Amino acid sequence: MQERPKNVPCLVAALLLYPLLVSCGGASQDSAGDSPVAPQDVRLTCNVIDRHSRLPVSGAEVNYQSGAAQFVTQTGADGDCELVMPAAEVAGVPYPAASVKKAEYEPQTMLFEKLQGRQNYHQNVELEPLAANVSIPVGGENVMHLGDDAFDGTVNSQFQKKSDGAALAFVIADWAAKVKAGYTKVTVYLDAKGWQSNDCDNLIGLSGDAGTVMLAGGTSPPDGYWGGGKQLPFEFSVAEVGTKTAEVRLTSGACKGTSDLDDFEINRMRAYFN
């Protein structure tokens, strides 16, 4: 998760990871592409580099989830990307997030204060090469929405896409290989928005061939911003989960003794073995 956009108060400075520059302007063209922005279009551009080599990363997928749709593009040989989206589909939501991913790297986030029509938004993105002890659960690198789509519209309940369900699972495809390599513990990290486990019975856990371990979910900042990352670890013992298969499970729970489920979004899930 990147630095909080300019002019947004920083309430949780410890959550900020790799600073990225955010800028916006009119409907002009720039080196990331030559597509003019229509009156009601939103244009995202980016430049993606390897954090260590500082070289451009080509073939990285840039994915923006919105409503029931998604918008996808890839970086070119120069690391540049361009994504043009109808404002009616994406504008107005506080702190929307686009995902940047490539197989050899940890996923990263392009985070904005708010998208508006007839605007260009550019970010420079640094991708961290994937270490031998890190796995990316399948699907966990994209924005996902858990809950029942019944929320009151407060600042902490503004989401960029429709619910994907009340319970989701994300397979750790190389679990058996990691266990064979001698790792005995795993820590799951993710970014979350609108996650209110202080008031709702949300759960996160690992399930495998030996059993399932579930923990209470986390709580994200009350102003509706994204939180989590390495400041909110969920730790598990491999022995309790199994040696063959495993998946991360998240569930949205009922809030304050009612039947209403918590609605929250997650992004940039990672599993660190040790």
pLDDT, mean over the chain: 87
Give the CATH class of 13-127. Answer: mainly beta
State the pairing for strand pair 144-146/264-273. antiparallel
Hey, how many other C-beta atoms are within 10 angstroms of the C-beta on 27? 14
Indicate the range of 31-45, 71-85, 135-149, 226-240 predicted with least confidence.
Answer: 31-45
Q: Tens of pLDDT along 49-95? A: 999 999 999 999 999 999 888 999 999 999 999 999 999 999 999 99
- Residue spans of the domains in the chain: they are 13-127, 134-273
State yes or no: pLDDT of 5 exceeds 50. no
Q: Tens of pLDDT along 220-263? A: 998 889 999 899 999 999 999 999 999 999 999 999 989 999 99
Which pTM was predicted?
Answer: 0.84
Separation CA 250–CA 166 (nearest Å): 8
Dihedral angle of Cα 109, 194, 10, 86, to the nearest 10 degrees = 50
Does the domain made of 134-273 have the CATH classification 1.10.10?
Answer: no
Point out which residues pair with 130 in neighbouring strands.
none
Q: How far is CA 141 from CA 41, 100, 271, in A?
A: 25, 8, 11
Separation CA 30–CA 37 (nearest Å): 11
